[in-house]
């Protein structure tokens, strides 16, 4: 068992690294094609519209949810490093794109009744995460306030959808991709915490305990699947550590994950040009932040702490260098996961 005293601390998000991710993010949000719109056609009038016509706020980065979390990344990087070399370009992008008219188009698209589950829950959770980041940033610097204001109507609409989903959905989704309920709940809990949204906080907590509170005996050896970018087990544990007290969480985790060893081995990424296989880089990054958070949440002296810290370090080292691989199928989203890992902000 590794000695926690010699496990290297997570690397910080230094200016040089932030600059590289910012440049990638700016390229991504402005790149309209290739594009996978997941566009439900409710009639002939829906044919022929371009991504930027359908989604004037979030048309780039290959798909809507990736555009949303690339915008989150840009705001986070600008907030952390106001003197970033790309700061002026980030501000110019938001000033140009974040307009009330553009937001109104996004709200209208979401309001179409046939699209009630569109981007649920992954895109919704990232949208509220972006809104929360703007909320925090606006308290520090007034430059962010107009962007937060523009996003307000869309934020309100998505929040209502999230509350309804949490309160009415009987079963969680346990996949390792976008539909996963636990990952979305973790983002929503963090967003609600910083915006002091008591209603959303309560809805997340209630759904979490209802969906996962009695889970036990998870068979970790079945992970990963071929295109996972989330560990169903670890994002669930990462969620429960937010809801339960440390001692209670430790007891739950022992029952839920009796053999964590299979989840301590990084996934092998055989082809970073394949849009599904490269998901496994995201899996390594998200496992790293889950293990990191689990280690911090467990009581002092828990024997799983050094195991979790070592696993976090190994997963981080396996995929962090590959975030900017030159392959757009990974680069359009992986920088966000890297920033989420390197700059957790207590999440």
Q: pLDDT per residue over 143-164, tens digit each? A: 999 999 999 999 999 999 999 9
Average pLDDT over residues 316-334: 97
Half-sphere exposure of residue 18: CA atoms within 13 angstroms, side-chain side: 22
Percentage of the chain exceeding pLDDT 90:
93
CA gyration radius for the chain? 20
As a whole number of angstroms, the distance between CA 243 and CA 209 comes to 8
As a whole number of angstroms, the distance between CA 209 and CA 166 comes to 11
Give the CA distances from residue 335 to residues 34, 65, 137, 180, in Å, rounded to whole numbers and listed in that order. Answer: 18, 14, 20, 20
Give the CA distances from residue 13 to residues 81, 86, 130, 239, 323, in Å, rounded to whole numbers and listed in that order. Answer: 10, 15, 19, 24, 14
- Those residues with Cβ within 8 angstroms of residue 311's Cβ, 6 or more apart along the chain or in another chain: 260, 263, 264, 287, 288, 291
Q: What is residue 51's DSSP assignment?
A: H
Closest CA to 312 of 76, 80, 11: 11
Q: Is the pLDDT assigned to residue 244 strictly greater than 50?
A: yes
Q: Is the pLDDT assigned to residue 328 strictly greater than 80?
A: yes
298 touches 250 (CB < 8 A): yes
192 touches 206 (CB < 8 A): no
As a whole number of angstroms, the distance between CA 267 and CA 224 comes to 7
As a whole number of angstroms, the distance between CA 241 and CA 110 comes to 32
Residue 345 has a pLDDT of 64
Tokens representing 238 are 């990462």
Residue 94 has a pLDDT of 98
List b or e across 266-295, with b for residues whose CB sees 16 or more CB atoms inside 10 angstroms. Answer: bbebeebebbebbbbbbbbbbbbbbbbbbb
Lookup result for tokens 């703007």? 134
Q: Is the pLDDT assigned to residue 3 strictly greater than 90?
A: no
Confidence of residue 46 (pLDDT cuts 50, 70, 90): confident
Q: Is the pLDDT assigned to residue 10 strictly greater than 90?
A: no
Q: Is the pLDDT assigned to residue 253 strictly greater than 50?
A: yes
Closest CA to 250 of 240, 261, 260: 240
Closest CA to 211 of 257, 275, 168, 274: 168
Q: Is the pLDDT assigned to residue 195 strictly greater than 80?
A: yes
> Mean pLDDT in the chain?
95
Residue 174 has a pLDDT of 98
Closest CA to 262 of 213, 223, 233: 223
Find the range with the poorest average confidence among 43-47, 219-223, 297-301, 321-325. 43-47
Residue 11 has a pLDDT of 55
Residue 48 has a pLDDT of 86
Residue 42 has a pLDDT of 85
Residue 6 has a pLDDT of 32
Q: Could you report the per-residue pLDDT of 115-127, keeping only the tens digit for each?
A: 999 999 999 999 9
Q: What is residue 79's DSSP assignment?
A: H
Residue 346 has a pLDDT of 58
Residue 79 has a pLDDT of 96
- Helix (H) or strand (E) holding 174, with range, is none
Confidence of residue 45 (pLDDT cuts 50, 70, 90): confident
């Amino acid at each position: 068992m590794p000695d926690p005293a010699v496990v290297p601390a997570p690397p910080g998000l230094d200016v040089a690294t932030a600059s590289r991710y910012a440049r990638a993010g700016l390229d991504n949000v402005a790149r309209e094609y290739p594009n996978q719109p997941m566009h439900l056609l409710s009639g002939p009038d829906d044919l022929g519209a371009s991504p930027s016509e359908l989604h004037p706020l979030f048309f780039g980065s290959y798909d809507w949810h990736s555009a949303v979390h690339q915008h989150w990344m840009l705001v986070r990087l600008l907030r952390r490093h106001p003197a970033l070399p790309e700061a002026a370009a980030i501000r110019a992008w938001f000033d140009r794109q974040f307009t009330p008219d553009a937001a109104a188009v996004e709200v209208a698209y979401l309001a179409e009744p046939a699209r009630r589950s569109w981007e649920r829950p992954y895109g919704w959770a990232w949208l509220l995460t972006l809104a929360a980041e703007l909320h925090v940033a606006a308290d520090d610097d007034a430059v962010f306030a107009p962007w937060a204001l523009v996003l307000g109507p869309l934020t309100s609409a998505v929040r209502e959808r999230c509350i309804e989903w949490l309160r009415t959905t009987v079963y969680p989704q346990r996949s390792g991709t976008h539909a996963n309920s636990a990952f979305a709940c973790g983002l929503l809990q963090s967003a609600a915490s910083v915006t002091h949204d008591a209603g959303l906080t309560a809805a997340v907590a209630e759904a979490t305990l209802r969906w996962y509170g009695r889970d036990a005996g998870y068979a970790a050896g079945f992970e990963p699947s071929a295109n996972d970018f989330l560990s169903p087990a670890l994002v669930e544990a990462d969620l429960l550590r937010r809801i339960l007290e440390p001692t209670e969480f430790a007891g739950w985790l022992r029952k839920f994950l009796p053999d964590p060893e299979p989840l301590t081995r990084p996934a092998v990424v055989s082809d970073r040009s394949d849009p599904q296989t490269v998901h496994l880089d995201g899996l390594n990054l998200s496992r790293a932040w889950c293990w990191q958070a689990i280690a911090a949440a467990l009581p002092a002296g828990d024997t799983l702490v050094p195991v979790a810290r070592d696993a976090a370090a190994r997963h981080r080292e396996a995929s962090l260098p590959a975030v900017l691989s030159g392959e757009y199928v990974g680069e359009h989203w992986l920088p966000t996961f890297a920033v989420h890992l390197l700059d957790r902000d207590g999440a």
